Structure 1
Amino acid sequence: MPNASHEAPISRIVTEVAAQFPGARISLGDMAEAFGDRAFGLLILLLCLPSLLPGMASVFGIPMLILGAQMGMGRRVPRLPAFIARQTIRREDLLRLSDASSGWIGKVERIVRPRPGFWTGPFGDRIVGWLTVYCAIMLILPGPGTNAPPAFGNIVMALGVVEHDSRTIGIGALLTFLGCLFATVVILVLLWAGTAALGWIF
C-alpha cells in the first residue's frame, strides 16, 4: 500500500486514505498503516479534537498518552496496541477533514507547509512526544476549564507534525506547554483547596 507523498496537503492525504478504505468505518490501525510516518501527527490530531468538547477528553487521553510515549521514545511510526488499533471512525467524519470549503482545513493548508528545522528532526520529535504525554495526562485528570488550552496547543502541534512544518510545531509546542502549565496550576490549586477544606472540617 503506497503512502501519501510528504508534499501532499492534509485534505489530499485524507481523501486518498478514505479512497483506500471504502467501508463505512476506518480503523485507527488501518490509518496508521496508510499514513506511514505521518501517522503520529494525524492520529494525535484526530484523538485530540474531541478533547475540546466537555466530558470527552478522558476517553481519548489514554490512546494519546500511548502514542505520545512511543513518539517520545523515538519510534518513527506508531505501534498501536490492539485495543486502540480496533477503534474506528466513520468514513464520512474523516472526509469532513478534507472539505476545504468547510473552513478550518483550507485556512490551515494556506498557512502550514513543509518547513524543515529543529522540530522536524529526531530530537524535536521526542519533545513533541513527551509534550503529548503531558497533554494527555492533563486531559485525563479532572479539572474545570483545563481541557481546551492544552488540547488546542496539541492540535496545532500535531498539524505541524503532519505537514513536517517546524515553525508550526514550535508554535504548537509552546502553546501546549503553556496550556498544560495552566491546567497543572488549576489542578494543584484545587487539590490544595480540597485538602485545606478537609483539614478544616475534620
Structure 2
Amino acid sequence: MLRLSDNPALSGSVDDADLALTEPATPKVGLVDILQGLASDESRERIAVGDLLSAMGDRAFGALMLVFALPNIVPTPPGTSAITGTPLVFLAAQLFAGKSPWLPRMISDRSLAREDFARVVQKIVPVLLWVQKLLKPRMEVLLLPVCERLIGLVCLLLAVILALPIPLGNILPAIAICCFSFALLERDGLFALIGGVLSVISLAVVSGVIYGIAKATLYFVVGPLLG
C-alpha cells in the first residue's frame, strides 16, 4: 500500500501545508503602538508629518485623520493646531474626492520636537484606548461610499475651522473629526452619527464666536470714528 510518507514530494507538500496552517499570523500593529514607537525613538530629534504618514502604512483615512485630530482635544504646545490642521484639510478633501491619502512636501516636512510629540502622545493614548472599547461594527448604512464622501465634505469644513486661529475653534471640530475617524476605522455608524451632531454644534459655536469678534471689532474700531 502506498502511503504519503513513502512519496517525498507528497510528504514535503503536506509538511509545508501543516507549517502554513500552524504558523501564527503576524499581529497587526495598532495606532497606539505606532505613536508610542515614534515618541520613544531617540534617534529622531523631530517628528515630521511625513513620518506619521509613513508609519501609518496602508491604513485608510480614518487612522490618518484621527492622528492629526486627536492632539487638538487636549492641551498641546503652541502652534500644534496649525501643524495638524493643514494635513486634515488635505486628507478630508481627498476623502471627499475619493482619492488615496497624500500630502505635499511643504506639509509633510512640518515637524514637532520629539519631546513635544511624546507629551502629546502621552495625553492622547488614554483617550484612544478608552474609545476603542466602545467601538464595534453597526449602522453601517451610514458608512456607504456616498456617506463617506459626505463625511469627507463635513470634515473638510471642520478642518478649515481647525486650521484657523479662532478662539475656542479647535476642540469641538477636532472631537467631531475624531468621531468620524473612529467610525471609518471600525465601521461604526453610531460614531458617524455622533460626529454629525457634534459638527452642527461646532459650526454653531464657531459662528457665534466669529460674530462676537466681528461685532466687538466694529464697536471698538468703527464706533469712535462715527462718534
Please give the residue correspondences for 1:5-44 in structure 2 after superposition, counting only pairs within 5 Å: 12=30, 14-15=32-33, 27-32=51-56, 34-36=57-59, 38=60, 40-44=61-65
- Alpha-carbon distance in 2 for matches of 1:51, 1:114: 26
Task: Quote the offset at 1:87 in angstroms.
Answer: 5.0
Relative distance call for 1:141 and 1:164 in structure 2 (3 A) is same
Whichever residue aligns with residue 138 of structure 2, its letter is: R
Aligned residue for 2:91?
67
1:182 paired with 2:205, answer yes
- Alpha-carbon distance in 2 for matches of 1:166, 1:180: 21
- Alpha-carbon distance in 2 for matches of 1:138, 1:13: 26
Relative distance call for 1:69 and 1:199 in structure 2 (3 A) is same
Q: Is the 8 A contact 1:28 1:88 kept in 2?
A: no
Please give the residue correspondences for 1:19-168 in structure 2 after superposition, counting only pairs within 5 Å: 27-32=51-56, 34-36=57-59, 38=60, 40-52=61-73, 53=75, 55=78, 56-75=80-99, 77-87=100-110, 93=118, 103-115=126-138, 117-168=140-191
Q: Which stretch shifts more, 49-58 or 62-71?
A: 49-58
Deviations 1:6-36 (A, max 9, x none): xx7xx735547969xx87568133135x133
Whichever residue aligns with residue 50 of structure 1, its letter is: P
Q: CA RMSD in A?
A: 3.2
Task: Quote the offset at 1:166 in angstroms.
Answer: 1.5
Larger Rg: 2
After TM superposition, the runs of 4+ consecutive aligned structure 1 residues lying more than 4 A away are 16-19, 22-26, 86-90
Relative distance call for 1:15 and 1:51 in structure 2 (3 A) is closer
Structure 2 alignment gaps of length 5 or more: 1-27
Q: Is the 8 A contact 1:29 1:86 kept in 2?
A: no
Structure 1 alignment gaps of length 5 or more: 1-7
Identity of aligned residues (%): 23
Deviations 1:152-183 (A, max 9, x none): 22222212222221111221122123113211
Relative distance call for 1:148 and 1:118 in structure 2 (3 A) is same
Whichever residue aligns with residue 150 of structure 2, its letter is: I
Task: Quote the offset at 1:65 in angstroms.
Answer: 0.8
Q: How many residues align?
A: 183
- TM-score w.r.t. the length of structure 2 is 0.66
